[in-house]
Amino acid sequence: MTDETGGRGNLAPLSLHVPEPKFRPGDAVDYADFDRGEAGLMPRPDIAAAPATMRDLSYGLIRVLDDEGRATGAWDPRLTPDKLTAMLRHMALTRAYDERMYRAQRQGKTSFYMKCTGEEATCIAAAHAMDREDMVFPSYRQQGVLIARDWPLVDMMCQVYSNAGDRLKGRQMPIMYSSRAAAFFSISGNLATQYPQAVGYAMASAAKGDNKIASAWCGEGSTAEGDFHSALTFASVYRAPVILNVVNNQWAISSFSGFAGAEATTFAARAVGYGIAGLRVDGNDALAVYAATEWAADRARGNHGPTLIEHFTYRAEGHSTSDDPTKYRSAEEQGTWPLGDPIVRLKQHLIALGAWDDERHAAMDREVAEEVRAAGKEAEKQGILGDGMHQPFSTMFEDVFEEMPWHLKEQSQQMFDERKAAGI
């Protein structure tokens, strides 16, 4: 009812809700109310099931490993010890690589680096579940995909250093790898651009009658980008053979997941509105990630449509070397995260199978550390940041057009003439 002035004087004024994280710097952390659900309880539908019949999978949490490291339930992929050990080694190698490159940045050998500590399973287990030829469209924390595909560490390090061995000729920001041979699309610093690119690739693959699918990753914050929603529209309409991964690691560079909508619903629930399959997975459970990705890949290859997978995980380190997470979150969060560490959990599972032990694990850690150290020395022979120009000046005019147009030829010649006149 309105009053004589036309207003609603009997109602309280409107108020704006501003999301607030549970824990701030200095706070004690208590995850007692965190509902993980039980391992093995979530049903595994047929790959051809209609999305409407699997709505609950967007709100629960698919878990395979229980607290004792045992695999249980319908989502258990029943992997061999050799396969599990290969995933474990790739995860350990990725963590060792991250540690060395982080130190390199702190030593001034490169300008920037981003680690994926605590999130290794979200890309490595997924890569193991896909075919080597399937095209991946990564964000900037999926270096583990390249490592899982046995791409040379030296090549990756040269890209970070932008040195003489950098195939990208210093044109990309450090950690923004690209490899056609590894079916690894160029990383972009513009958030979520890889989503419509992945959907477009998948649509083209289907239109050609190919058998390669696509997979893309983004962070939970990027689900607020327009490109994310455009991609889901096209994926839904054309039933593109694509896997769309959302790595919900709880934090953007300084804001928590609530600002991207985590207080209202899950990120997997984005799938419900678009009428596509949605899975919410324990991102620190390598077996669950593998099983979900394998299911989604089989679904895509069977022409049953796309799948959106939310990997519920935690960013254990800073957003990048430019970030200090102690300024905006409690230091206790990492150690008390209720889903644990993906490497520790996979190790525990292998030990429970009788296929692993602490001695072999320690030996593996020494082995991967030495592999990374040797690769680092080899890469640094080709240069690091600040010790000279690593690429010829002529390369700034190359690789833009298939055939260099006349105006670039003129500019290139002018540059050579001026440098010659200056005695350079």
For residue range 115-159, list pLDDT tens digits in order: 999 999 999 999 999 999 999 999 999 999 999 999 999 999 999
Residue 189 near residue 176 (C-beta atoms within 8 A): yes
Mean pLDDT of 37-41: 95
Q: Are residues 141 and 70 in the same domain?
A: yes
Cβ contacts of 383 within 8 Å, gap of 6 or more:
161, 163, 164, 165, 390
For residue 254, the tally of other CB atoms under 10 A from its CB is 13
Q: Are residues 406 and 367 in the same domain?
A: no
Mean pLDDT of 30-58: 96
Which phi and psi angles does 338 have, rounded to 5°?
Answer: -70, -10
In the predicted structure, residue 2 carries a pLDDT above the cut 60: no
Tokens at residue 391, please? Answer: 């690429």
In the predicted structure, residue 335 carries a pLDDT above the cut 80: yes
Q: Are residues 311 and 340 in the same domain?
A: yes
Q: Are residues 268 and 405 in the same domain?
A: no
Tokens at residue 312, please? Answer: 């519920």
Report residue 253's pLDDT band, with 50, 70 and 90 as the boundaries. Answer: confident
Q: Are residues 405 and 372 in the same domain?
A: no
Q: Are residues 109 and 144 in the same domain?
A: yes
Burial status of residue 151 (CB atoms within 10 A of its CB: 0-12, 13-18, 19 or more) = middle
Is residue 83 domain-resident?
yes
pTM of the model: 0.94
For residue 5, the tally of other CB atoms under 10 A from its CB is 7
Q: Are residues 59 and 160 in the same domain?
A: yes
Exposure class string for 270-295: b at 16+ Cβ within 10 A, else e:
bbbebebbbbbbbbbbbbbbbbbbbb
Decide: helix, strand or coil at residue 242: strand
- Residue 404's domain spans which residues? 393-424
Q: Are residues 273 and 398 in the same domain?
A: no
In the predicted structure, residue 109 carries a pLDDT above the cut 80: yes
CA angle 341-347-352, nearest 5°?
125
Strand spans (E) along 162-254: 214-219, 242-248
Using one digit for the tens of pLDDT, what is the confidence trace for 272-285? 999 999 999 999 99
Q: What pLDDT score does 3 carry?
A: 58
Residue 312 near residue 283 (C-beta atoms within 8 A): yes
Tokens at residue 132, please? Answer: 């080597």
Mean pLDDT of 192-220: 97
Q: Are residues 104 and 225 in the same domain?
A: yes
The amino acid present at 203, given as its one-letter code, is M
CATH number assigned to the domain comprising residue 357: 3.40.50.970
Least confident of 293-297, 311-315, 368-372, 395-399: 395-399
